């Protein structure tokens, strides 16, 4: 019986989703192994292997800070990243690059997140943005002396500090859209009201900051789901068919 259930679950997964997760996990394991082996090879060849004692204090300090934050990041962003989670966490820059690119790509393709199409589009966006970053940095390495004065210009430095609000400004508009398909969620923003008020209070009190965002999101996910559940049970948040006019207009677009 349990075996049958397991087989049914496997059948329900789209072949692409199955492939994307399987290949992603293999890629991630190979990537972690390769990343860890680089310092060992270099230190062995140059005879400069540090002792365990030399590495331990730094390792404890960074893991104590980054460990919980990394776990929170995986918990917070995996539902949005889908099968592109592996490539995203291998290539980094989750919030300042991958998530905005995925949201933008899904809006352009008019596909819903957490569907097979949405997942495939998310993987395309993640792969393209990872490749662009790698290429730009490679160009940066080659043209280092030329680009250094441009990037170190005080105006450019100031502007680069404001990347995150610039990204969220463009993504916020997509938040107003309640669905890309045949149905939409009525009053879809209401479940975010309580978490937004809580975070506002924390920010005003000086506790909330972008550095803590990963941890705050993991806390706010159950709060948002709970609010959505209550509002859905009361019939305030509900799924309604998109009116024909709207569908035609979006098809034309």
Partner 1 sequence: MVKGSVVANSPLLFVLVAVGLLIVIAYAVLSVVKASQRCKELGVSSETISNVVKATATSSIVPSLAILLGFLTLTVSLGVIWPWWRLSVIGSLSYEAMASNYTVDALGTAMSEILNADANVFGAVMMVMSFGIITGPIVAVLFAKKYSTGIMKAKVGQSEWGQVMSGCFFLAMFSVYIPILLFTDLPTTLTMAVSFVVTLICGVIGKKAKWLNNFTMAIAMLVAMASSVLWVGLFK
Of the candidates 7, 27, 241, 247, which one interacts with partner 1 according to CB under 8 A? 27
Please say which residue, 7 or 162, places its beta carbon nearer to partner 1. 162
Residues 127-186 that bind partner 1 (CB under 8 A): 127-134, 136-138, 140-141, 144, 147-148, 151-152, 155-173, 175, 183, 185
Query: Whole-angstrom Cα distance, residue 106 to residue 149?
Result: 37
Query: Does residue 250 bind partner 1 (CB under 8 A)?
Result: no
Helix (H) or strand (E) holding 241: strand 238-241
Please say which residue, 40 or 243, places its beta carbon nearer to partner 1. 40
Query: Whole-angstrom Cα distance, residue 243 to residue 183?
Result: 9
Residues 66-105 that bind partner 1 (CB under 8 A): 66-67, 70-71, 73-87, 89-93, 96-97, 99-101, 103-105
Query: Does residue 38 bind partner 1 (CB under 8 A)?
Result: yes
247: CB partners within 8 A, 6+ apart = 182
**SS3 of 18, please?**
helix
Query: Whole-angstrom Cα distance, residue 181 to residue 131?
Result: 30
For 211, other C-beta atoms within 10 Å of its C-beta total: 9
Q: What is the smallest separation between the CB atom of 112 and partner 1, expressed in angstroms?
A: 7
Query: Does residue 28 bind partner 1 (CB under 8 A)?
Result: yes
Closest by CA to 83, choosing from 31, 118, 109, 112, is 118
Of the candidates 2, 11, 36, 251, which one interacts with partner 1 according to CB under 8 A? 36
Please say which residue, 7 or 156, places its beta carbon nearer to partner 1. 156
């Amino acid at each position: 019986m349990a075996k049958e259930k397991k087989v049914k679950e496997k059948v329900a997964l789209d072949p692409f989703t199955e492939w994307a997760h399987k290949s992603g996990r293999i890629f991630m394991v190979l990537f972690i192994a390769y990343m860890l082996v680089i310092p060992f090879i270099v230190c062995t060849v140059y005879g400069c292997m540090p002792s365990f004692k030399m590495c331990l204090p730094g390792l404890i300090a960074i893991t104590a800070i980054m460990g919980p934050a990394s776990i929170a990041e995986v918990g917070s962003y995996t539902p949005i990243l889908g099968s592109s989670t592996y490539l995203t966490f291998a290539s980094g820059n989750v919030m300042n690059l991958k998530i905005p690119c995925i949201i933008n790509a899904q809006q352009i393709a008019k596909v819903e997140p957490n569907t097979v199409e949405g997942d495939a589009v998310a993987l395309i966006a993640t792969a393209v943005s990872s490749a662009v970053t790698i290429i730009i940095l490679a160009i940066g390495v080659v043209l280092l002396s030329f680009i250094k004065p441009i990037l170190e210009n005080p105006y450019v430095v100031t502007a680069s500090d404001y990347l995150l609000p610039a990204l969220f400004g463009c993504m916020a508009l997509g938040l107003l859209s309640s669905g890309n398909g045949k149905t939409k969620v009525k009053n879809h923003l209401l479940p975010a009201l309580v978490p937004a008020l809580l975070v506002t209070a924390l920010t005003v009190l000086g506790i909330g900051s972008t550095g803590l965002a990963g941890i705050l999101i993991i806390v706010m996910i159950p709060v948002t789901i709970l609010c959505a559940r209550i509002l859905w049970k009361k019939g305030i948040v509900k799924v309604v068919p998109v009116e024909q006019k709207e569908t035609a207009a979006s098809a034309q677009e």
